[in-house]
Amino acid sequence: MKSDPPPKELLPRRNSHRLSAGQPCIDAHFVNRLERNSDNMQSFVAQPNPGTSQSTWDSKAVAEFAEGSADILVLRRNAPGDFAEEVQTARIHEYLAPITREKAGFEIRAGLGELRLKSAALEEDLTKLVNAFLDQFELEKARLRIEITQTQSCPKFHSDHVNIRLVTTYLGPTTEYQFSGESSAYVAPTGGLVFLKGKNHPTHGDSVHHRSPEVPIGQKRLCVAIDY
Ligand SMILES: [Fe+2]
């Protein structure tokens, strides 16, 4: 039986970040309940796992996402810090590395070192995310990208040639995404965990596309991606 589509009006406009004409920007920060987008579950936005502090995310929600037809899952969470001071003196750079459980600590420290970004809180958070990602998808190895940028690296909406990518933005404008057939673009919450299916995933439906945001002149964006 076909279920009713969810309301689409729930999110206030975000004025601080300008999108191109015809693409009003809606801020997912203000979603405070599970939102299922249409009867084919293109996406939903959920609260973080209310369980123990050791829970990095709601692994059941992520497992359902991976098995289901949704192409995006956005999990809100409190970022472990704003890192504005640390990023101020850090280097504009992209660190890319294959990552395993055994070498996670080494690679993350090496990446933060290359970026000249010293932060124990960030190192701890990245370690948690990497380990949770490997556990969630039962992987021996994944790819890690830690990036500080001052430009819009991917201005066009697209999907990637990956299975699943987790993207989180710690500082600056966040990932934007758009559903097929819609003109509105959504903005991921700062520090939130954005799981995106890519073209290599068996249940990828090509129903949502994402892009990197514009970065205002003089600002920096700190963003991390883990994928396989
Ligand atoms: Fe992408």
Instruction: Using the mean position of ligand 1's atoms as its centre, give its distance from the Cα of residue 30 in Å.
Output: 24
Taking residues 67-89, report their average pLDDT: 93
Residue 8 within a domain: no
pTM, full prediction = 0.79
Instruction: Using the mean position of ligand 1's atoms as its centre, give its distance from the Cα of residue 220 in Å.
Output: 18
Instruction: Using the mean position of ligand 1's atoms as its centre, give its distance from the Cα of residue 204 in Å.
Output: 14
Residue 218 within a domain: yes
In the Cβ-directed half-sphere of 167, how many Cα atoms lie within 13 Å?
A: 28
Instruction: Using the mean position of ligand 1's atoms as its centre, give its distance from the Cα of residue 158 in Å.
Output: 6
Residue 220 within a domain: yes
Residue % of the chain over a pLDDT of 90: 71
Structure confidence by residue, pLDDT tens digits, 43-73 = 445 444 443 334 899 999 999 999 999 999 9
Instruction: Using the mean position of ligand 1's atoms as its centre, give its distance from the Cα of residue 32 in Å.
Output: 26
Residue 116 within a domain: yes
Residue 4 within a domain: no
Taking residues 149-169, report their average pLDDT: 94
Instruction: Using the mean position of ligand 1's atoms as its centre, give its distance from the Cα of residue 162 in Å.
Output: 9
Which residue range forms the structural domain that includes residue 167?
25-227
Instruction: Using the mean position of ligand 1's atoms as its centre, give its distance from the Cα of residue 60 in Å.
Output: 24
Residue 7 within a domain: no
Structure confidence by residue, pLDDT tens digits, 29-49 = 233 223 333 333 334 454 444
Domain count, the chain: 1
Residue 102 within a domain: yes
Higher pLDDT among residues 28 and 86, named by residue:
86
CATH code of the domain containing 82? 2.60.120
Instruction: Using the mean position of ligand 1's atoms as its centre, give its distance from the Cα of residue 210 in Å.
Output: 6
Residue 19 within a domain: no
29 Cβ contact list (under 8 Å, min separation 6) = 14, 76, 189, 190
Instruction: Using the mean position of ligand 1's atoms as its centre, give its distance from the Cα of residue 180 in Å.
Output: 16
Q: Determine the pLDDT at residue 82.
A: 85
Structure confidence by residue, pLDDT tens digits, 175-203 = 999 999 999 999 999 999 999 999 999 99
Q: Determine the pLDDT at residue 212.
A: 94
Backbone dihedral angles phi then psi of residue 222, each to the nearest 5 degrees: -110, 115
